[in-house]
Structure 1
Amino acid sequence: MSDRRPLLFFDSGVGGLSVLAPTTALLPRAPLVYVADSGGFPYGTKSETEIAARVPALLGRLAERYDPRLIVIACNTASTIALQHVRAALDLPIVGTVPAIKPAAAASRTRTIGVLGTAATVRQPYVDDLAARFAQDCTVLRHGSGRLVALAEAKLAGETVPLDAVSHELDGLFHQPGGERIDVIVNACTHFPLLEAEMRAVAPAGVAFVDGGPGIARRVAHLTQGQSWPEHLPPGHAVFTSHDPAHRRLAPTLATYGLSRLETL
């Protein structure tokens, strides 16, 4: 018999779509539930204590409601703070999202890389550990941007993203001492790959961008290898944790990701 249990993707907003997309490219028959914690958005300005308490409790409720076969925490901030708490609380596979410092260091020729995330992510000891393990011979510059999160949300709602605003945020990396040597930027927030076209348009020539989405997709495919999928793919669910009529503006974009049903938790 086919297994109708979904993959559940979780983020504070729509950024996790940058992880969902490469996963569904590998697993096109997978049922989907995408949860945007709009009631707690944005995570990047919250304290570690708030996130460590909120995320496991909320994912516990979601696991009971949707019975997923696997949960992807498609959020760097939530993963770097709450991943171990979630794994301790739930008895099912949990895949986290962490800054792609290892592939960035491997690709850098100047040995100077930038880590662009939320303020909460870039200050985490987890990032220190990744840099120490995989980028020992690199200069690792960091910048926290909440503005890019808001711009990505606006883009998916159909608004035009002003390039000067994107350029201003990237200047937070390039204008640091040594920033002119950056040749690879780690998009350490899942919202940021949604703005990659705009970032490439304003970044210096030759700067590359990397993120964890493709690696997470491969991990999910590995963990679900050999499992059965429904013969007929049900409509994907997009779930918000607060009621806001503005969420309807996201419906056309969500539908392109296979999420044609909108719900409020």
Structure 2
Amino acid sequence: MIKLQTFLQKIGEGSRREIGNLIVSGKIKVNGEIIREPWFKVVEEDIIEIHGKKIHVKDKISEAENYVYYLIHKPIGYLSALKDDRGRKTITDLIQGKIKEKVFHVGRLDYNTSGLMLLTNDGDLANLLLHPKKRIYKTYKALLNKHIKENNLKKLEEGIIIEGGYKTQPAKIEKAQKKGKYSEVTLSIHEGKKRQVRLMFKVLGFNVLKLKRIKFGPWSIKEVVNPGDIKKLNPEDIKKLKEYLKK
């Protein structure tokens, strides 16, 4: 027996949150009956209906028990999504023919942001990486439309109020330098609010011309240098990750 939410997440039908929302909204059936409890247990004989298709648990149970992990360099112009109703390119287009397992993305990068992402079918590990208490840092390199001053950097380090009245946690300024008439700022944050880095600079009066995630937890963009590059993590990589998460 396995929890419905956990099973669907592990076989790549969506993130834990996405699956949970579908269940409580009555969008998923088991053996023809709507199930609204994410903790509902399914067995091999059950048939699940999701996204207009039927999934026989017995055909997918082995897949649910085998975890895979991939680093990917998301290019600009791709959505951090598995599908898009408007026909835009998604991560699915990027990995088609390259990753055979059903995976989901851990966190997001917006359409015009490039950089490092993790794809997996391990929902428990994904939750650990995204849990606020773990404070997993993501590092970004931002090209700004004008020179930035020390007092602006100080505000980022103290936390600033962005749209919606949310005050960000302090950012770590790794590097700031002039690039002709522009500025390039490398900063690390452990939060994941939608478009957070762009909104932080917007409050200070800057436009982000380019944004790239160069680190995510223990991983670096150096492992997937070129846009579109994919790297499958080996058991030793995963061991190091789990040690990192214990810190």
**Both proteins in one fold, TM over 0.5:** no
Larger radius of gyration: 2
TM-score by length of 1: 0.25
Q: Relative contact order, CA 8 A, sep 6+: which one is greater?
A: 1
- The structure with more helix, counted as a fraction of residues: 1
